[in-house]
Amino acid sequence: MDYNPKRVPTSVSTLPSLDDHLASAFAVNVAKTQSEKEAVYALRYKVYIEEMDKPYENADHVNKRLYDRLDETATLLYVTEQSEIVGTVRINWGRDAHTLQSYAQVFLLHLFQEYLPESFSFCSRLAVAANWRKSLVTVSLFEAAYFLGREESVLFNFISCSPHLVKLFKHFGFRRYSENFDDADVGVQVPMVLLLEDSEHLHASRSPFFKDARIRENRSMPTVWFNEMFTGENYG
């Protein structure tokens, strides 16, 4: 499914495309067919288990696929090069009850209870093929995730990453707001959050998302609230 910014999404099953909107280095697609999704699961398995040697005891080691229940309601983004998937990231939406339950503890969502669950999204399962990790595949995937979040009126996008990736995500505009936690499969994780409408912070971070944010209406209240809520917190 190619991006077309002239289409306005009515649900995650009819999300728009953004080739024209962002002019990203790589075209980003939404996995809709089962074969597309299986290719995504296979890339995850190759990256996380075969290359990074992460345990993932619940993975399908027979068929070499990394899948979990959150995939059932997720938007799976992917990039292809010469018909081969070379990068993917997953977006889950706060309006889904299982998603909220899954992420409530690690992201301390009770601290964000002033906002409706529909204001949240969660990015995870970033996987990029080894030969493409120094390319703009990751940037293109997250530009797409940002665009779709804005189309869905998301205010806060949550991620967790390994410590060595914090610098990258800070450049994207994400902020640390809580203590690290230990994940049984991937080890130490740093929780971070992106305020999608904080265009000033995106500009200051030189975020690739700023070119999208600057052409939209951005409310200041989420940023004011966040700064007051986490005043004095210093996680680097």
Q: What is the pLDDT of residues 51-68, one digit of tens each?
A: 999 999 999 999 999 999
Q: With bands split at pLDDT 50, 70 and 90, how would you rate the model's confidence at 7?
A: very low
pLDDT higher than threshold 50 for residue 76:
yes
52 inside domain: yes
DSSP annotation string for the chain? ----TTSPPSSGGG----HHHH--SS-EEE--SHHHHHHHHHHHIIIIIIIT----TTSBTTTTB---GGGGGPEEEEEEETTEEEEEEEEEETTSHHHHHHHTTTTTGGGGTTS-GGGEEEEEEEEE-GGGTTTTHHHHHHHHHHHHHHHTT--EEEEEE-GGGHHHHHHHT-EE-S--EEETTTEEEEEEEEETT-HHHHHHTT-TTHHHHTTS---SHHHHHHHHHTTT----
201 inside domain: yes
What is the CA 158 to chain-centroid distance, rounded? 7
5 inside domain: no
7 inside domain: no
88 inside domain: yes
pLDDT higher than threshold 80 for residue 1:
no
Residue 11's pLDDT is 37
Residue 3's pLDDT is 37
Supply the CATH number for residue 48's domain.
3.40.630.30
Residue 36's pLDDT is 97
What is the count of structural domains for the chain? 1
Residue 13's pLDDT is 40
Q: What is the pLDDT of residues 163-179, one digit of tens each?
A: 999 999 999 999 999 99
71 inside domain: yes
What is the CA 31 to chain-centroid distance, rounded? 15
- Per the structure, the complete domain to which residue 137 belongs is given by 12-229
Q: With bands split at pLDDT 50, 70 and 90, how would you rate the model's confidence at 145?
A: very high
Residue 95's pLDDT is 96
Report the C-alpha gap between 211 and 203 in whole angstroms. 9
Q: What are phi and psi of 120, to 5 degrees?
A: -110, 145
150 inside domain: yes
Give the Å distances, CA to CA, from 32 to 35, 38, 112, 169: 8, 10, 31, 27
169 inside domain: yes
